[in-house]
Amino acid sequence: MTDKKKLYARMHAQAEGLFEGESDPIANAANLAALLFMELPAINWAGFYFLQDTELVLGPFQGQPACVRIALGKGVCGTAAKNRQPLIVDNVDEFAGHIPCDGASQSEIVIPLLKDGVLLGVLDLDSPQLARFDQFDQDGLKSLANLYLKRTRL
Ligand code: SME
């Protein structure tokens, strides 16, 4: 197993422990954001946006204060949410419509939160490194997002 796979396997076990006996969506999102921020190298923002009508609204996160509302289809988050597909951006400066929150961010990954086919929000991570996120990150984060959705009352 690669180091990255091991790291995600360990985080999955840690998240299982954090969610044990708890189904509150804010509490579990806050703990998952903290876990991601603590464990993943070269990350400057990790957190949630939850869908309210046609907008994503800021949820629990770690990192610098961020924009509160993102319309579906806007920015990296709104694009991933609208397409219901994970999105990796190697260089945010080359993504038309990227919404800058922390000037240090250079690359970004967004995982849509889909429960029974219903879009509930996104998990968003930023890095101060170019091309920080790859398929292993996408798979690992998707698995953590699915665990969150399974264990949490939403
Ligand atoms: N960069 C995001 C906005 C959210 S922050 O990165 C926390 C976007 O373009 O949607």
For ligand 1, is residue 101 a contact (CB within 6 Å)? yes
Task: Give the residue, out of 44, 67, 95, 105, with the most ligand 1 atoms within 8 A of its beta carbon, to mutate for a pocket test.
Answer: 67
> pLDDT tens-digit profile of 11-65?
999 999 999 999 999 999 999 999 999 999 999 999 999 999 999 999 999 999 9
The whole-number pLDDT of residue 111 equals: 98
Q: Which atom of ligand 1 is nearest to the CA of 49?
A: 4
**78 Cα–ligand 1 center, Å:** 9
Domain count for the chain? 1
Average per-residue pLDDT for the chain: 97
Q: Is the pLDDT of residue 1 over 80?
A: no
Q: Domain of 92: which CATH number?
A: 3.30.450.40
Block residue for tokens 């396997």:
9
- Are the C-beta atoms of residues 109 and 133 closer than 8 Å to each other? yes
The whole-number pLDDT of residue 125 equals: 98
For ligand 1, is residue 126 a contact (CB within 6 Å)? yes
The beta-strand segments (E) located in 79-148 are 87-89, 107-115, 118-127
Which residues form the domain of 133?
3-151
